[in-house]
Structure 1
Amino acid sequence: MSYPELYILRHGETEWNAENRMQGGLNSPLTAKGEGDARRQGEILAGLDLDGFQFLCSPQGRAFQTAGIALTRIADRITTDDRLREIGVGEWQGRLRSELSVDGPVRDGPDGPIAMYEHAPGGEGFAALEARCRDFLGDLKGPSVLVTHGITSRMLRSILLGQGRDTLGQLPGGQGNVFHLRDGVQIELT
């Protein structure tokens, strides 16, 4: 399937990111560093030709706060879409990662061990997240800037790159990213 050109932003650092706490559907505000992350994203985007792009954002506070900072001088309108929200982590929302464990090997990364998001009790899981992201991408009408979350960004990018969800842990992550995806190629803008 062919997809439009996209810029995918992950929200800036939050208080809970700094504490290494699982957020899922809960929210914590951006830290001063997170606000700086969002300003830097805005500076990157300001240097691009985004004529004809739509601007879409997760309705969760940390993403919306990032969008407000990063897109304030760029976007006339930002539309929220619930399908851009972060993966649900069920009973692990608000918990420190150090308090949690999963069976089997886990590879740590900038967003914590990816397996934790798949195995969270009562969580959404990768299959449901993938279905939600495919539905979202299938509805896009043209080039877009998306402001979302770490695991949701990874899932969107894995679909756009034609990779399986088993590759989520191999994709770059971290707060304050800007990824440009076009014709199955990803470039991280810095």
Structure 2
Amino acid sequence: MTVELFVLRHGETTWNREGRMQGHLNAPLTELGVEQAVTQRNIMAEQDLSGFCVLSSPSGRAVETAAIALGPLVTEITTDTDLREVGVGEWTGRLRAELIDPTEWQVTADGVLELYDMAPGGEGLAGLEARCARFLARLEGPHVLVTHGITSRMIRALALGHGPNVTLATLSEMPGGQGVVYHVKDGQQKRLS
């Protein structure tokens, strides 16, 4: 994978704040989420985006983040369903604390990653990896991507050569968070903040 990427995660939502599993459903950005998108705009304003295509997940939280963070900087933002968050099936909308005892699991900036693989009727991490691998294989030229926490981790892991069969350990070691931008180029990842 040699395509240059800037990868942004949407800003905090009301469901993020409550600790809910969002998956393909949407929740609005909080005031902090809007501030995080403005921070991303300030980061991206320092980048030369000439020749970059901008793609966003079609989820409202990602589209709103893309509009705030990139709308003033680019002429076109296109949505792509492959950038949606991993589907969490029957656990969509559920509080993470209802599902597991978080003290028994490794908690990352994006929650307990095992939940995304265990969700009944969900996409699972293998399904997410297959979707993200297909997505990356069709990219030509440099791209800015606005996506979600787990999808961002998977895309970056694959772009850095950790596939096929990206492990939970690899995803857990991948940095996450909101209000930051990850730059992936030439097999290296740099967090911009």
Matches within 5 A, 1:8-23: 8-23=7-22
1:27-42 → structure 2 map (5 Å cutoff)? 27-42=26-41
Aligned counterpart, 1:169 = 172
Equivalent residue letter for 1:186: Q
5+ residue gaps in structure 1?
A: none
Counterpart for residue 114 of structure 2 = 115
- Partner Cα distance (1:133, 1:63) in 2: 17
Partner Cα distance (2:68, 2:88) in 1: 27
Q: Corresponding residue for 2:188? A: 185
- Normalising by structure 1, report the TM-score: 0.96
Counterpart-to-counterpart distance in 1, 2:27 and 2:94: 13
Amino acid at match of 1:37: Q
> What runs of 5+ residues in structure 2 fail to find an aligned partner?
none
Question: Matched residues in 1 for 2:86 and 2:136: separation?
Answer: 16
Q: Verify the 8 A CA contact 2:71 2:77 in the aligned structure 1.
A: no
Please show how residues 148-167 of structure 1 align to structure 2 within 5 Å. 148-164=147-163, 165-166=166-167, 167=170
CA distance in 2: counterparts of 1:18 and 1:129, whole angstroms = 24
* 1:106 shift after superposition: 2.5
Give the match's secondary structure for 1:56: strand
Q: Trace 1:112-151 onto structure 2 (pairs within 5 A).
A: 112-151=111-150
**Mean Cα displacement is larger for which, 160-169 or 111-120?**
160-169
Amino acid at match of 2:5: L
Shift, 1:21, TM fit: 0.7
State whether residues 58 and 84 of structure 1, in contact with CA within 8 Å, keep that contact through their aligned partners in structure 2.
yes
Partners of 2:56 and 2:146 within 8 A in 1: yes
The Cα RMSD (Å) is 1.1
Aligned residues: 187
Q: Secondary structure at the match of 1:117?
A: helix
Are 1:45 and 2:44 matched, yes or no?
Answer: yes
Say whether the 8 Å CA contact 1:3–1:137 is kept in structure 2: no
Moved more, 166-175 or 116-125: 166-175
How far did 1:3 drift?
2.5
Contact 1:129 1:152 in 2 (8 A): yes
Runs of 4+ in 1 over 3 A off after TM superposition: none
Contact 1:4 1:144 in 2 (8 A): yes
| Structure 2 residue identity aligned to 1:182 | K
More deviation in 129-138 or 171-180?
171-180
Report deviation, 1:175: 1.7
Q: Deviations over 1:137-186 (max 9, x none)?
A: 01111101000000000000110111242110111111222000001100
User: Partner amino acid for 2:11?
Assistant: G
What TM-score, normalized by structure 2, do the two folds share? 0.94
